[in-house]
């Protein structure tokens, strides 16, 4: 049974898709041009063979540690966490005895102090991830952890550091060169939200013992047709990533400005957070885009699903399922009569029934829905899903006539934060900050 996109509930017939479908030749030409120019390494993956060799050489080194502390934020952490939750669930289960991956992805003094108080530095490797080498939330944590390591271990502190950053430029590259710290590169033109299939996501995956090559093979299978130098409009129009991009644009034109990512693969729920950044940061530009909403089945049937089903009709849904999830234990036979419908059934049947019920209810209530039905919940299928959604996002942005690879609005908040901390070279932001701090406030106690 292959992986399937089920379009039965997508409302294709009600959406105006012809204008977007008719741009397949244009999109194929752009894809060929961008791939040839090296601007889409997420799809072409020219770095991958070399990276896999480097990862093979790191296995023995990483095996010498019990803990990995990953310093990263946004795309430098969300993919790693999704892989951890999906394929290393035992860290969250009773009596786990290692290895442990800890992800410091926020400006959280409680967490940072806890790591320094409780992690054994001699058994810990610190992986700092920042393409630019200047992400203050990440580099700020690096400064503090670096001093902690120096104080606890002494001259051997560099043996407990691994930097994932630009190959040539930035503070972390300079830090690596000056202190002979191990590094792995983030390829040029590979933005954080597209970087899970690089050292950013694969180093923690390797540390936890995941099948990294299966993950990569799945992604390559999905991406190869898009990176083909002979790609034409006819071939592109047959690819699922283009179908999803066209559908998304039809939805937005019809006023569906929210896109639910509903995961009925419980261990894959964190892919919803990964997708939310991918979609929002790529497509939320120039007053355009649709708001991604991560939801977990069956948990969110009992929380936000009421809004999905009976709120404003502005929502569509990507619905993630897998019919081959573990069966689990059986319900006992000696149940009260009110629960006789599950007597003797396998526990795993419940999530499948819940998923079908929710999918049908969403469709019945007018929510356009595409089911992404994975053959298995294994790393290869995860790689396919990552590449599919990444490619669909890029194509959706091009069809919207925006750049899905930058994030200009996000940079303003970063500059204002630096101005607040007294950074030089930001005269406009410093003036805006002064105006903000001296403006009349409407503050009320509660």
Hey, which residues are catalytic here?
Answer: 281, 302, 414
Q: Is-contact 247 17, C-beta < 8 A?
A: yes
Q: Which of 353, 315, 294, 283 is nearest to 82 (CA)?
A: 294
- The DSSP bridge partners found for residue 104 are 71
Task: Give the closest residue to 79 by CA, choosing from 309, 273, 364, 334.
Answer: 273
Cα maximum dimension of the chain: 74
Provide the 3-class DSSP secondary structure of residue 351. helix
Q: Which residues contact 57 (CB under 8 A, 6 or more apart)?
A: none
Query: What is the C-alpha separation between 32 and 41, in angstroms, rounded?
Result: 12
Exposure string (b/e) for 1-18, b if CB count within 10 Å is 16 or more? eebeeebebbbeeebebe
3-state secondary structure of 265: coil
Rounded distance between C-alpha atoms, residue 244 and residue 260, angstroms: 14
Beta-carbon contacts of 8 under 8 Å, excluding residues fewer than 6 positions away, are 371
Instruction: Tell me the CA distances in angstroms from 172 to 116, 132, 190, one per residue in order.
Output: 21, 8, 17
Matching residue, tokens 């629960």 = 339
Cis link prior to 177 (omega < 30° from 0)?
A: no
Q: Which two tokens stand for residue 103?
A: 């992800």
Reference 393, options 248, 222, 220; nearest CA is 248
| Residue linked to tokens 């933005």 | 191
In our burial notation (b when 16+ CB lie closer than 10 A, e otherwise), range 279-302 reads bbbbbbbeeebbebbbbbbbebbe
Question: Distance (Å, rounded) from C-alpha 347 to C-alpha 327?
Answer: 6
Closest CA to 99 of 67, 62, 58: 67
Token pair recorded at residue 235? 């071939």
Are 215 and 383 contacting, i.e. CB atoms less than 8 angstroms apart?
yes
């Amino acid at each position: 049974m292959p992986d399937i996109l089920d379009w039965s509930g997508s409302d294709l017939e009600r959406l105006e898709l012809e204008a977007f479908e008719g741009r397949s030749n244009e999109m194929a030409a752009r894809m060929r041009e961008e791939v040839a120019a090296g601007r889409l390494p997420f799809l072409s993956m020219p770095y991958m063979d070399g990276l896999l060799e480097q990862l093979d050489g790191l296995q023995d080194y990483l095996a010498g540690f019990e803990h990995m502390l990953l310093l990263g934020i946004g795309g430098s952490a969300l993919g790693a966490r999704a892989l951890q939750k999906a394929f290393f669930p035992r860290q969250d289960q009773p009596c786990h005895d290692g290895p442990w991956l800890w992800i410091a992805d926020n400006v959280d003094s409680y967490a940072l102090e806890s790591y320094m108080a409780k992690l054994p530095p001699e058994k810990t490797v610190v992986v700092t991830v920042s393409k630019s080498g200047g992400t203050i939330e990440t580099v700020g944590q690096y400064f503090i952890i670096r001093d902690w390591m120096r104080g606890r271990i002494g001259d051997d502190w560099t043996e407990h550091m691994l930097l994932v950053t630009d190959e040539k430029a930035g503070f972390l590259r300079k830090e690596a060169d000056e202190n002979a710290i191990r590094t792995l590169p983030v390829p040029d033109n590979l933005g954080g939200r597209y970087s899970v299939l690089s050292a950013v996501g694969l180093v923690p995956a390797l540390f936890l013992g995941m099948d990294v090559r299966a993950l990569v093979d799945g992604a390559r299978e999905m991406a190869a047709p898009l990176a083909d130098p002979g790609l034409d409009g006819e071939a592109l129009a047959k690819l699922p990533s283009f179908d999803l991009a066209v559908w998304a644009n039809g939805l937005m034109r019809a006023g569906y400005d929210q896109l639910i990512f509903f995961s009925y693969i419980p261990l894959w729920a964190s892919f919803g957070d990964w997708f939310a950044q991918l979609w929002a940061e790529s497509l939320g530009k120039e007053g355009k885009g649709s708001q991604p909403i991560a939801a977990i089945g069956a948990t969110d049937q009992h929380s936000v699903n009421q809004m999905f089903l009976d709120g404003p009709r502005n929502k569509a849904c990507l619905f993630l399922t897998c019919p081959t999830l573990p069966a689990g234990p059986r319900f006992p036979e000696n149940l009260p009569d009110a629960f006789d419908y599950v007597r003797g059934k396998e526990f795993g049947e419940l999530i499948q029934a819940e998923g079908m019920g929710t999918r049908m209810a969403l469709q019945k209530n007018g929510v356009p829905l595409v089911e992404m039905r994975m053959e298995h919940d294994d790393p290869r299928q995860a790689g396919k899903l990552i590449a599919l959604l990444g490619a669909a996002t890029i194509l959706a942005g091009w069809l919207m006539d925006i750049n899905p690879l930058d994030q200009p609005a996000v940079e303003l908040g970063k500059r204002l934060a630096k101005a607040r901390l007294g950074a030089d070279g930001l005269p406009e932001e410093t003036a805006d900050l002064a105006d903000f701090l001296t403006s009349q406030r409407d503050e009320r106690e509660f």
